[in-house]
Chains A and B, each alone.
Chain A
Amino acid sequence: DIQMTQSPSTLSASVGDRVTITCRASQIINTYLAWYQQKPGKAPNLLIYKTSTLESGVPSRFSGGGSGTEFTLTISSLQPDDFATYYCQQYNTFSPWTFGQGTKVEI
């Protein structure tokens, strides 16, 4: 299995801050990486796919980058609605598709 490791596990930030979350894959996954946002009691919401493509309706303050085994999710100016848990997911191979352990962004 391809292991996905996110850092940090928890991130404390303030409204207006620029924040970056890192996701490292245990092997090369090309650009087959997605990011999700999840709020308590809700299903995850797709933010970014193919490393850097913003899903329709997602604010432009979210951006993704990276390649190979290291990837980032950046929020350019943190908004109150952005306090949530974020997950990365690789889909380079079927065996199996795997998620990171999550990064909680808190005030």
Chain B
Amino acid sequence: QITLKESGPTLVKPTQTLTLTCTFSGLSFSTSGVGVGWIRQPPGKALEWLAIIYWNDDKHYSPSLKSRLTITKDTSKNQVVLTMINMDPVDTATYYCVNNPWLSGAFDIWGQGTMVTVSS
């Protein structure tokens, strides 16, 4: 059974850097085809895909946010870390960690999400 859980700050100030960690179980980056990504959802709005990282360290980012995002993995800890620089109030959202196997494209397992508010 695959589970994912997000952790990180609930409140960040404008211009600060957000660091979110996804800790998962039931899969491993030592296995070919494993991929874990991030999706966010502002309150009352639609979903927005942010980034994905695969077992082979292949990474993809949303073009509109690419300059602000970094995604990394720690195979030994079963973790994926998303860093977003220069946070703005419009980045206030629930951030979800998702399972996305190689060549799948669909997100079959989601974390519970973590709400991040950007405010001074």
Which residues does A use to contact B, with CB under 8 Å? 1, 32, 34, 36, 43-46, 49-50, 55, 87, 89, 91-92, 94-102
Contact = CB atoms under 8 A, between A and B. Distances in A.
B42 to A, nearest CB: 12
28 contacts: A1-B63, A1-B64, A32-B105, A34-B105, A34-B106, A36-B47, A43-B113, A44-B47, A46-B106, A46-B107, A46-B108, A49-B104, A49-B105, A49-B108, A50-B106, A55-B108, A87-B47, A89-B47, A89-B49, A91-B105, A94-B60, A95-B60, A96-B60, A96-B62, A96-B64, A97-B49, A99-B46, A102-B46
Contacts of B111: 43
Nearest to B105: A91
B21 to A, nearest CB: 17
B108 A96 contact: no
A99 B47 contact: yes
B63 A96 contact: yes
- Do most interface residues of chain A lie in helix, strand or loop, or is the interface mixed? loop
B112 interface: yes
Interface of B: 46-49, 60-64, 96, 104-108, 110-113
Contacts, number: 56
Nearest to A101: B46
B32 to A, nearest CB: 19
A66 to B, nearest CB: 15
Contacts of B60: 94-96
A89 to B, nearest CB: 7
A54 B106 CA distance: 12
Contacts of A98: 49
Contacts of B49: 89, 96-99
Given A43-B110, A89-B47, A99-B49, 13 more contacts: A1-B64, A34-B106, A36-B107, A44-B47, A44-B110, A49-B105, A50-B106, A55-B108, A91-B104, A96-B61, A96-B64, A99-B46, A101-B46
